[in-house]
Amino acid sequence: KGRADKMEAVVSTQSTGILCLIISHCTMLKFALLLSFLYCSSCSDYLLRLPEEFSIDNYLKINPDFSALQEELTVCTWLKKRLDQNRRGVPWLSYATTTHDNSLLLKAGVHVVLYGSKYYDKRFSTVIMRDEWYHFCFVWKAGVRVEYYINGVSVGLSGDIPTGRIPLGGTIVLGQEQDTVGGGFDPNDLFAGDIYNLNIFSRALTLGDVTEMYYNGRCAELCRALSYEVALSWGEIVRRGELKGAASLEDAECNTWGAVVDFAEIIMNHLNRRPQ
């Protein structure tokens, strides 16, 4: 019996040791994950996710202060669409006022709309692939310049440069096109996918500014000079914006752990492509 007791004690000790080892590894993993999320706690590390369905219920709404943006502005963001939407151009930002429902309308394809002293609707043609991140920037200065960039390249808007001033007191909606202030949505005219790091600047950015943002990558912080020009930041949109329907804020995977996972995927994809 004494020998059996010793054997049982040894087994118990070994089991306890293995259990402690497992717990230790789990604790370390949780700690590492916690550190990775805290690493980017100072930035707005959330993206806006709009579900993969044609529903007018899903969007984010915010009432901005455009008093410093009436005669020039730049709107930049990262987008990833999750549906093959070949409908009406995939609207990602709509700014509507009582003066005009399309005071500013930006789409990932087909056209951009701006209402200043007169209606400005310029069309272009581009193909946006599903499940890929793209960088978009719309740049306008009244009577001087209007540009629309996708991944740092201008899509070549032509015609008269819009003049006038953008009306105040409007509502921004992300993911739907407004036909009335805060509403009038069309299920055939929406964005389904992810929006991240959308910032509105108080001046018309240069080509160099735009290409630097694109080449720095989706998770990069704005350079200090540009950060002073932000009139409406992504952080403010995340904090103050009203989420509607099934729209949600999700981890943007721009922390340390996300970077490690991305790097591992790159390595695995490279190894999988090697000849056997």
Query: Which pair of tokens denotes residue 25?
Result: 């590894």
Question: Of 23-27, 118-122, 167-171, 178-182, where does mean pLDDT reach its minimum?
Answer: 23-27
pTM, to two decimals: 0.77
Task: Convert the pLDDT of each residue in 65-84 to its tens digit.
Answer: 999 999 999 999 999 998 87
Q: What's the confidence (pLDDT) of residue 184?
A: 93
Q: Distances from the Cα of 242 to the Cαs of 34, 50, 245, 247, 249, in angstroms?
A: 28, 13, 10, 10, 11
- Tell whether the model's pLDDT for residue 175 goes beyond 90: yes
pLDDT-derived band at 112 (thresholds 50, 70, 90) equals confident
Give the count of beta carbons closer than 10 Å to the beta carbon of residue 170. 23
Task: Convert the pLDDT of each residue in 177-221 to its tens digit.
Answer: 999 999 999 988 899 999 999 999 999 999 999 999 999 999 999
- Strand segments, DSSP code E, in the chain are 46-50, 59-62, 72-81, 91-96, 104-107, 110-115, 119-124, 134-141, 145-150, 153-154, 171-174, 193-201, 230-232, 242-244, 248-251
- Tell whether the model's pLDDT for residue 16 goes beyond 90: no
Q: What's the confidence (pLDDT) of residue 15?
A: 43
pLDDT-derived band at 119 (thresholds 50, 70, 90) equals confident
Query: Which pair of tokens denotes residue 62?
Result: 């915010």
Give dist(CA 276, CA 270) in Å, integer. Answer: 13
| Residue matched to tokens 């990069």 | 220
Question: Of 52-56, 226-230, 259-263, where does mean pLDDT reach its minimum?
Answer: 259-263
Chain mean pLDDT for the chain: 80
Of all residues in the chain, what percent carry a pLDDT higher than 90? 51
- Tell whether the model's pLDDT for residue 159 goes beyond 80: no
Task: Convert the pLDDT of each residue in 222-257 to its tens digit.
Answer: 999 999 999 999 999 999 999 999 999 999 999 755
Instruction: Kindly state the DSSP code that residue 108 receives in the 8-state scheme.
Output: S
Q: What's the confidence (pLDDT) of residue 21?
A: 36
- Tell whether the model's pLDDT for residue 174 goes beyond 60: yes
Give dist(CA 18, CA 13) in Å, integer. Answer: 9
- Tell whether the model's pLDDT for residue 266 goes beyond 70: no
Higher pLDDT, 117 or 252: 252
- Tell whether the model's pLDDT for residue 170 goes beyond 70: yes
Give dist(CA 119, CA 113) in Å, integer. Answer: 8
Q: Tell me the one-letter amino acid at 219.
A: C
Q: What's the confidence (pLDDT) of residue 19?
A: 36
Of all residues in the chain, what percent carry a pLDDT higher than 70? 75
Comparing CA positions, the residue from 252, 260, 205, 257 lying closest to residue 230 is: 205
Comparing CA positions, the residue from 220, 29, 178, 12 lying closest to residue 92 is: 178
Comparing CA positions, the residue from 151, 55, 66 lying closest to residue 108 is: 151
- Tell whether the model's pLDDT for residue 39 goes beyond 90: no
Higher pLDDT, 4 or 241: 241
Q: What's the confidence (pLDDT) of residue 267?
A: 52
Higher pLDDT, 202 or 161: 202
